[in-house]
Amino acid sequence: MNILVTGSTGFLGKEIIFHNSTQTIFSLNRNVGNYKFDLSTTIPDFGFDLFDIIIHTAGKAHLVPKNKNDDNTYFNVNVKGTQNLLKGIELTGHLPNRFVFISTVAVYGIEKGIDIDENTPLLAKDPYGLSKVQAEQLVLDWCQKNKVICTILRLPLIVGENPPGNLGAMIKGINKGYYFNIAGGLARKSMVLDEDVAKIILKASEIGGTYNLTDGNHPNFFELSNAIAKQNRKSNPFNIPFFVSKSIAFFGDIIGDKFPLNSNKLKKITSDLTFDDFKARKVLGWKPNKVLDYYLR
């Protein structure tokens, strides 16, 4: 099969290519790969190449917007970029049989809760989550119109080698000795291994549907940080009691967004947020590895 992977040099994109290397893979990225296009500004030209499956991983990751321009970037990359990709595919004159869109649990717009499933309304209001909601709808409508099997994978925190974002910062903090758990680090969060996502994609693309993917264990910060510390032969992180954290967060409310902790961040850090992947287990035969086991290999 001919497979097009967008965002091919990204954290997940690279893993998808590695674990599906027996297929004919075409890559799309801004600077390297078979097709070098910035989807946020350009409709890609695929020439005479035809694809059986599209795996769309390209997108702007979840970061806290610093200004209105950052808000617009989410729309341009995640929504406009998806729209341009679909137009480029149409120009080939040959539509794929399957389309896989990598989405996020942020589409639910929920900051705390247990076992949130795919039937939960998509209420995201932040620029990142909202842009992913809009991109999902674009893909769904396009696939339905063109009779293409559509698969949407909603992912939580993705774990793997050299992760970006908050997890990467956490690992760096543990290695440097300045990471602290807050209030015991007991809040549970859904996570998933990048290699497990990469391995299930082709099977999911055959069936179609929308799925949450997690490791099913939902480790808390205490468990995760200790596992990372053990892997890197570092001391277990210290803990900041909740009453101390609350005082620091109050100070952060006064200082502003540049301060690392405020009341809103504290609430998120100390609240459980887990997602239900029963549908994927039942329909796809999803049997992921535990994130903690990855760090304790």
pLDDT tens digits along 188-202: 999 999 999 999 999
pLDDT of 259 strictly over 80: no
Nearest of 19, 59, 10, 8 to residue 164 by alpha carbon = 10
Which of 80, 97, 78, 100 has its CA nearest to residue 88? 80
71 three-class SS = helix
Please state, in angstroms and rounded to a whole number, the distance separating the CA atoms of residues 45 and 111. 40
Q: What is the pLDDT of residue 66?
A: 56
pLDDT for 261: 82
Residue 69 has a pLDDT of 62
DSSP state of 47: T
The pLDDT tens digits for 23-40 are 999 999 999 889 999 999
Report the pLDDT value the prediction gives residue 62, as an integer from 0 to 100.
Answer: 66
Q: Of 72-76, 109-113, 197-201, 288-292, which range is least confident?
A: 72-76
Q: Is pLDDT at 280 greater than 60 in this prediction?
A: yes
Domains within the chain, CATH numbers bracketed:
2-160+192-215+274-289 (3.40.50.720)
CA distances from 83 to 22, 34, 88, 95, 140 (A): 29, 20, 9, 15, 12
Gap between the Cα atoms of 60 and 76, Å rounded: 9
Would you call 126 helix, strand, or coil by DSSP? coil
- Indicate the length of the chain as a whole number: 297
Q: What is the pLDDT of residue 132?
A: 97
Confidence class of residue 165 from pLDDT cuts 50, 70 and 90? confident
Express as a percent the part of the chain with pLDDT over 90.
81
